[in-house]
Amino acid sequence: MKTMPQQGRLEVITGCMFSGKTEELIRRLERVRIARKKIVLFKPTIDNRYSERAIVTHYGREFAAHLLPPGEESLPELERIVSKDAIVAATVIAFDEGNFFSNKLPQLCEDLVARGKRVIVAGLDLTFAGEPFGPMPALMALADEVDKLHAVCVKCGGEATRSQRLIDGKPAPASDAVIKVGGTEFYEARCRSCYERG
């Protein structure tokens, strides 16, 4: 009996900070690992919060990852980082913090899907200023499956969908730099009602 080639697909895990995006990504990757399939995971070089060589949740769970410079998202670059054989052998190719990558990421994901890969991207949907973040809107539009996760609003306990950046306890001005890597020292999860645009 002839086996069909693996069908490629794109999955996007998105939401605000502290919604469990990386936790969900690791959960999916662990299931692939249990099935004894090959995984290649990339994270942007600018995400150095907890580890240089792994993605790490806010609660300390981690999964080994390779560094990919934003703006260099291409098949030849992935092959340079991990080898052509590793890319060919991988069942799943994943990217954490997709929001920090450039607008080249959606095309790379499409190229990988066309090669039969299951591609998973986790990342913030909105900036701290409430604007669509980097390549995430395009990725969500192209995805076969999108899971939008929610956090708990630190103000009212409701369903948080926004990442509030704070400077000395006050909302950061919307004109502040879009990218500021950090955790609870700079950000809070808030619902739409409790979110304040600076």
User: What is the reported pLDDT for 3?
Assistant: 55
Instruction: Give me the mean pLDDT over the 113-135 stretch.
Output: 97
Query: d(Cα 65, Cα 168) in Å, to the nearest integer?
Result: 33
Residues with Cβ within 8 Å of 127's Cβ and at least 6 positions away in sequence, in order, are 133, 163, 178
**pLDDT level of residue 17 (50, 70, 90 thresholds):** very high
pLDDT in tens, 82-97: 999 999 999 999 999 9
Query: d(Cα 19, Cα 152) in Å, to the nearest integer?
Result: 8
pLDDT-wise least confident of 13-22, 67-76, 163-172 = 163-172
146-160 CB burial, b ≥16 within 10 A, e <16: beebbbebbbeeeeb
Instruction: Give me the mean pLDDT over the 136-148 stretch.
Output: 98
**Structural contact between residues 137 and 106, judged by C-beta atoms closer than 8 angstroms:** no
Tokens found for residue 150: 């929610």
Euclidean distance between the first and the last CA atom of the chain, given in angstroms as a whole number: 62
**pLDDT level of residue 129 (50, 70, 90 thresholds):** very high
Closest CA to 189 of 25, 17, 32, 5: 17
**pLDDT level of residue 58 (50, 70, 90 thresholds):** confident
Residues with active-site annotation: 97
User: What is the reported pLDDT for 47?
Assistant: 78
Tell me 126's DSSP state. Answer: B
Closest CA to 99 of 67, 62, 131, 60: 131
pLDDT of 2 strictly over 60: no
Domain 9-149 part of CATH 3.40.50.2000: no
Query: d(Cα 107, Cα 72) in Å, to the nearest integer?
Result: 12
